[in-house]
Structure 1
């Protein structure tokens, strides 16, 4: 009879590995992963989105550091960039260019492959964490009252039954948790899906020699405007080894293609400003174009279910996923893993109702990210079956007003960034002082263009007049 504490985590990506580390302080943890995990920071079949832009906001970076102290230093040692926010961000919001105010938060920027490998190496080095590769979860063991393990299928077709005190689903967008719960006799959870039809196309470039010598470059983002369909935009971030990842995106009717020759045309012509296209005009492409359509926002409200089985929890993209242009998926997964650890520590392993408390706790970090995504994407035609609700429209109008004010008010910009960085919850946006400031509007006039410095413009090989701001 099994007596030692045990847990199973389904999925060996970032969310799964962080969940495994969160539980390793309480139990022996087995990570079930359908792929073969690479030895180094390389590609794998189950993570096709790794070739797109990824951002670890400071709220997520702090959560990772809580679980795995020293991770930020390890990443920087391999070339990741600590980017002060908004100091080193050049962002065209739907309401205008943001100024580069003093640092209030930060992002960690590197390839997804480097981040996953750095986290994975530390987690799998823990004596209580093991991984079972090339193995697919097929269903849950137990009943509507308690999950006792999981049915898995090995690569050779053999089925096995793995038992555990706690099973955590971190299988991402492909999660089958809803159907597994129905098989146990439980109803499906309430769910909301908001799909603006966004398509992503990304390519990696070698940054110009002067940029590589400089050793840094601001993050450049041209956001889509939900008031104008199709919504089109572009982003450029600097990652390790002197490379830029450039991601182009567009909603229904304005999607980028996977054609390499058309990539530059889209970057120069489709977004609301051609700054990203101009920056990469003479940069050397290092890869082909990677394209994906798996970008819909969805939220599964497991924490609202009237019945919830003991021994089961869902987190990461299996719980909620967002339009990738907001860059919140990794950070909310990390914060949910911290919530998992803290809840188990506070309630005690094996106590009645623990799984329900865990599910409610891990849902908390997703709320701010969900509100931000819904507030913009719900406005696009076809994003929802019946169009935006009155509440959606009011929330979107308020967020739009805040963005407008933030273009010329540093205090408002910091409050907005408190939320976008996931360092504070969306409740701060209800501060009456913030509402009053939004009513008054920006204190300074709009910028006339992207606020790149002369040094940055020169390093990128651009004439100063082609991109720098005025006003």
Structure 2
């Protein structure tokens, strides 16, 4: 393959570019935002980047393989390595789950991670960034052979006038995210759009940064994640963790009419109504800047694997352009890494690039299925989404509540739960009779950590 073209220079685009660099003589990454910067910063095209993000366990494994030395470099620049048995607290409805040894987490902001990834990717002489945005596909017969682009000026606007410049490519990867226009481009080129599924969640989340003292702990922990189930009457989640430059990043969420606002006093009130680490944060630490908010209306997936041969050759899709999930589950960045892994597996099989990439789309469908079951299908239980639950839904909700109860006192149940959350295994793991039996018999601890 001579030239591969990646549309989008975010997380999905960067890891795809790294994989393509092993198979193409030249990889061009099309990104309208200015990424030629000497330090991490929020990009206009990623409005959610101001909020807390997490790289789940499986995603970290993949990035570690693709980018040797990446994590050491990040730690050297201020990313925080956390041992969850020693440093972390997981809570469900105010009760702390039993600690599980062997899990750690690298904590940093989204701009920090993307900046380091971009530096590593561009070190390869085969990868180059182009400041432009794609405006459509070009085809020879039923094969994509490039894209039309608009160059972006310093103000972020596309160059006006003219039919648009074209960049030729042997393979195009759409990694333009949730707002991808690929469906329109396919229709304009005489192809079908992929079937689309949508599950509304209407979640809002608010994030605030706080000053952190060296070695500081809050209620004995360095990171906390608190989940409020439907039983609480106010479902949602909150989290805090240390990030680079001596800061805490704290997040709180709510659904529908309970979405958080930009008001700092409201942010404090939400933290004070939560677990002790969140309360101590707002009592003991100074806020840095204003509260940032973001609204996520729905999880969406596009089932490209169902199109079969009714899809152009020379084109694949990755990341949120395939599926985007309720961000409270933290699956987005790890799903992008899993898609890149699938891309590498497909390319190593020496596929015929003049044929549709059906084998690739089947691989990523399995990734999406697991993530969808863990997050989007759980959102179907939300009162403002489901309305009155069916008998089957009530049974599923009962089992889910029992699993959460089991995590509070049973280490094996919690270990299995964390493996699913970290996308190391699929949700079927939690349906094993041995896990369900342990969860059903696990006594619920009565002392709430409030």
User: TM-score, normalising length from structure 1?
Assistant: 0.86
Distance 2:67 2:247 in 1: 26
Q: Which residue of structure 1 lines up, in the alignment, with residue 263 of structure 2?
A: 259
* Aligned 8 A contact 1:58 1:422 in 2: yes
Q: Which residue of structure 2 lines up, in the alignment, with residue 448 of structure 1?
A: 447
Distance 1:144 1:324 in 2: 39
Distance 2:134 2:144 in 1: 14
Q: Does 1:420 align with 2:424?
A: no
Give the alignment partner of residue 152 of structure 1, picking from 134, 149, 153.
Answer: 149
Q: Cα RMSD over matched residues?
A: 2.4
Q: Against the structure 1 CA distance between its residues 70 and 191, is the aligned structure 2 distance closer, same or farther, given a 3 Å change threshold?
A: same
Q: Does 1:74 align with 2:73?
A: yes
Give the alignment partner of residue 134 of structure 2, picking from 137, 142, 155.
Answer: 137
Distance 1:87 1:389 in 2: 41
Q: Which residue of structure 1 lines up, in the alignment, with residue 59 of structure 2?
A: 60
Q: Which piece of structure 1 moves more, 366-375 or 70-79?
A: 366-375
* Aligned 8 A contact 1:229 1:380 in 2: no
Q: Does 1:124 align with 2:84?
A: no
Give the alignment partner of residue 357 of structure 1, picking from 344, 356, 359.
Answer: 359
* Aligned 8 A contact 1:67 1:338 in 2: no
Q: Against the structure 1 CA distance between its residues 289 and 95, is the aligned structure 2 distance closer, same or farther, given a 3 Å change threshold?
A: closer
Distance 1:234 1:344 in 2: 40
Q: Which residue of structure 1 lines up, in the alignment, with residue 325 of structure 2?
A: 322
* Aligned 8 A contact 2:203 2:259 in 1: yes
Distance 1:274 1:299 in 2: 37
Q: Which residue of structure 2 lines up, in the alignment, with residue 379 of structure 1?
A: 381
Q: Which runs of 5+ in 2 are unaligned?
A: 153-158
Q: Which piece of structure 1 moves more, 223-232 or 302-311?
A: 223-232
Q: Against the structure 1 CA distance between its residues 189 and 230, is the aligned structure 2 distance closer, same or farther, given a 3 Å change threshold?
A: farther
Q: Which piece of structure 1 moves more, 373-382 or 327-336?
A: 373-382
User: TM-score, normalising length from structure 2?
Assistant: 0.90
Distance 2:369 2:88 in 1: 24
CA deviation vs aligned residue, 1:281-337 (integer Å, no higher than 9, x gap): 231111211111135322211112232221111111111111111111111111211
- Could you tell me how far 1:170 is from its partner in structure 2? 0.7
* Aligned 8 A contact 2:137 2:144 in 1: yes
* Aligned 8 A contact 1:168 1:315 in 2: yes
Q: Which piece of structure 1 moves more, 12-21 or 203-212?
A: 203-212
Q: Which residue of structure 2 lines up, in the alignment, with residue 464 of structure 1?
A: none
Paired residue total = 438
- Counterpart secondary structure, 1:82: strand
- Counterpart secondary structure, 1:415: helix
Q: Which residue of structure 1 lines up, in the alignment, with residue 316 of structure 2?
A: 313
